[in-house]
């Protein structure tokens, strides 16, 4: 090939990727509850409700939550109870052919589950709940051909308003294969296949810009393996924690602990992977559950602020190296992250520095509301944001800027 043509082609290819990088836009969106302890309906709840209401008549819709309220629910009958937004609104949608479905846990506050059943009162809306001893703990809003919201928030005042929670939306247009995996899992549960392993498809998916997304369900993608790198949620989380080079930041709700035999417990093993990492800076917040060996070792190693009551801090998040976010419904426990036949959970890991920075805003919001901890390692988180620099001058030079 002519050298001149080669150079032209090289420049065109380079420009193509440069333009893509300049125009690249987030393929996710994240929202967070304010945890303001107010009883009014929040914009966080409305955001979930409007997403459900965006469904077209041919879109299958799932709303899944472990806990509900004996009150109006934005995603079901709208915050005013007039069915103008939410699942009940879709019942009257002209030309609706695809199913509308609700998944939950019958045994967890059964009176509120029955309240939702009474609110729906329409044969075209299917409701199926688990009545087994383990929890159906997943929180998902799914609209086929639109996308999915993966969340830590239950569909009640606690989840949408009182607690710290996070929700992450991904779009069908960018992740059609992942949406098949998610819909297959939801369909299996609607068919009564709770707390068991079924084939849910690929774990690894990729954004339009090459970012890696890992989507796992529990118990489907667990193999009872505690070891680092095991084919379980806990195995993968431990692998990321032990390989962290710069920072480990966590927001934890329930953190399982086994004082008698810490070698066989996911919560203890996750704690070990954090504490034993001597390269990364570590800081976090956790609920007051498991005040024994886990909390003691974390606080002795680094700043770990405690939320009490435990459920005030309801997010379940790791931000690793300011580049990776691991989140979802799964608490740091055997039932959620290890076992092949226990909780139904969703867990997602996204490798995107932009998302990591957005989640750091959530972290600062949480930490700013918690008291400094005075046990173990000194508290080194400042609630006061840094002020603007003063007495700073910048002198431009031909090849550099000189800061004084």
Instruction: Compute the 3-state secondary structure of the chain and give helix, strand, coil in percent, each to the nearest 5.
Output: 30, 25, 45
Asked whether residue 144 is domain-assigned, the answer is yes
Report pLDDT digits (tens) over 69-114.
999 999 999 999 999 999 999 999 999 999 999 999 999 999 999 9
Whether residues 254 and 331 share a domain: the answer is yes
Whether residues 307 and 208 share a domain: the answer is yes
pTM of the predicted structure, to 2 decimals: 0.89
Whether residues 98 and 39 share a domain: the answer is yes
Asked whether residue 253 is domain-assigned, the answer is yes
* 57 pLDDT above the threshold of 70: yes
For the residues of 337-400, what is the DSSP string, one character each? HT-SSS-BEEEEEEE-HHHHHHHHHHHHHHHHTSPPP-SSSPP---SSPP----S--EEEETTE
Whether residues 258 and 375 share a domain: the answer is yes
Give the whole-number percent of the chain exceeding pLDDT 90: 69
Whether residues 233 and 336 share a domain: the answer is yes
Would you state the structure tokens that stand for residue 117, as one six-digit string?
């059943």
C-alpha distances (whole Å) from 324 to each of 9, 30, 395 are: 35, 14, 37
Q: What is the pLDDT of residue 228?
A: 95
Domain residue limits at 354: 203-380
Q: What's the domain count of the chain? A: 2
Whether residues 267 and 178 share a domain: the answer is no
Asked whether residue 359 is domain-assigned, the answer is yes
Structural domain ending residue among the three candidates 199, 234, 268 = 199
Whether residues 51 and 138 share a domain: the answer is yes
* 10 pLDDT above the threshold of 80: no
Average pLDDT, the chain: 89
Of 51, 285, 251, 43, nearest to 161 by C-alpha is 43
Element (H or E) spanning 326, and its range? Answer: strand 324-328
C-alpha distances (whole Å) from 43 to each of 50, 119, 171 are: 10, 22, 21
Element (H or E) spanning 317, and its range? Answer: strand 317-320
Would you state the structure tokens that stand for residue 279, as one six-digit string?
């390269």
More confident site: 32 or 260 = 32
The Cα 166–Cα 72 span in angstroms is 21
Whether residues 287 and 220 share a domain: the answer is yes
Would you state the structure tokens that stand for residue 144, as one six-digit string?
């086929």
CATH of the domain at 88: 3.30.870.10
Whether residues 188 and 246 share a domain: the answer is no
* Average pLDDT over every residue of 34-58: 91
pLDDT bracket for residue 385 (50, 70, 90): confident
Whether residues 189 and 265 share a domain: the answer is no
Q: What is the pLDDT of residue 389?
A: 73
Rounded to 10 deg, the angle between the 266-275 and 293-301 helix axes is 10
* 159 pLDDT above the threshold of 70: yes
Of 31, 354, 39, nearest to 165 by C-alpha is 31
Whether residues 138 and 218 share a domain: the answer is no
Asked whether residue 264 is domain-assigned, the answer is yes
Q: What is the pLDDT of residue 25?
A: 61
Whether residues 142 and 250 share a domain: the answer is no
Element (H or E) spanning 43, and its range? Answer: helix 43-53
* Average pLDDT over every residue of 200-224: 93
* 311 pLDDT above the threshold of 80: no
């Amino acid at each position: 090939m002519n050298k001149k043509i080669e150079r032209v082609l090289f420049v065109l290819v380079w420009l193509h990727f440069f333009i893509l990088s300049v125009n690249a836009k987030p393929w996710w969106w994240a929202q967070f509850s304010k945890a303001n302890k107010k009883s009014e309906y929040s914009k966080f709840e409305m955001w979930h409700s409007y997403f459900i209401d965006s469904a077209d008549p041919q879109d299958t819709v799932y709303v899944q939550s472990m806990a509900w309220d004996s009150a109006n629910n934005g995603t079901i009958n709208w915050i005013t109870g007039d069915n103008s937004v939410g699942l009940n609104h879709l019942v009257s949608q002209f030309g609706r052919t695809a199913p509308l479905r609700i998944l939950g846990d019958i045994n967890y506050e059964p009176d509120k589950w029955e309240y939702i059943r009474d609110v729906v009162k329409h044969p075209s809306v299917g409701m199926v709940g688990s009545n087994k001893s383990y929890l159906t703990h997943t929180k998902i809003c799914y609209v086929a051909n639109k996308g999915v919201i993966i969340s830590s928030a239950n569909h009640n005042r606690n989840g949408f308003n009182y607690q710290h929670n996070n929700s992450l939306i991904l779009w069908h247009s960018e992740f059609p294969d992942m949406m098949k995996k998610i819909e297959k899992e939801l369909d299996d549960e609607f068919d009564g296949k709770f707390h068991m392993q079924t084939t849910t498809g690929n774990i690894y998916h990729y954004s339009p810009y090459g970012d890696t997304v890992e989507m796992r369900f529990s118990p489907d993608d667990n193999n009872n393996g505690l070891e680092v790198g095991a084919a379980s949620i806990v195995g993968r989380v431990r692998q990321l924690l032990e390989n962290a080079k710069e920072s480990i930041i966590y927001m934890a709700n329930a953190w399982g602990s086994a004082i008698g035999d810490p070698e066989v417990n996911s919560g203890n093993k996750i704690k070990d992977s954090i504490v034993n990492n001597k390269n990364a800076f570590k800081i976090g917040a956790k609920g007051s559950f498991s005040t024994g060996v886990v909390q003691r070792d974390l606080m002795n190693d680094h700043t770990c602020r405690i939320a009490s009551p435990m459920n005030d801090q309801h997010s379940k998040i790791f931000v690793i190296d300011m580049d990776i976010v691991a989140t979802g419904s799964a608490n740091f426990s055997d039932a959620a992250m290890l076992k092949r036949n226990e909780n139904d959970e969703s867990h997602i890991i996204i490798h995107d520095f932009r998302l990591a920075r957005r989640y750091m805003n959530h972290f600062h919001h949480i930490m700013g509301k918690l008291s400094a901890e005075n046990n173990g390692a000194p508290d080194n988180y400042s609630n006061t944001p840094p002020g603007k620099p003063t007495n700073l001058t910048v002198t431009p030079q031909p090849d550099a800027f000189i800061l004084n």
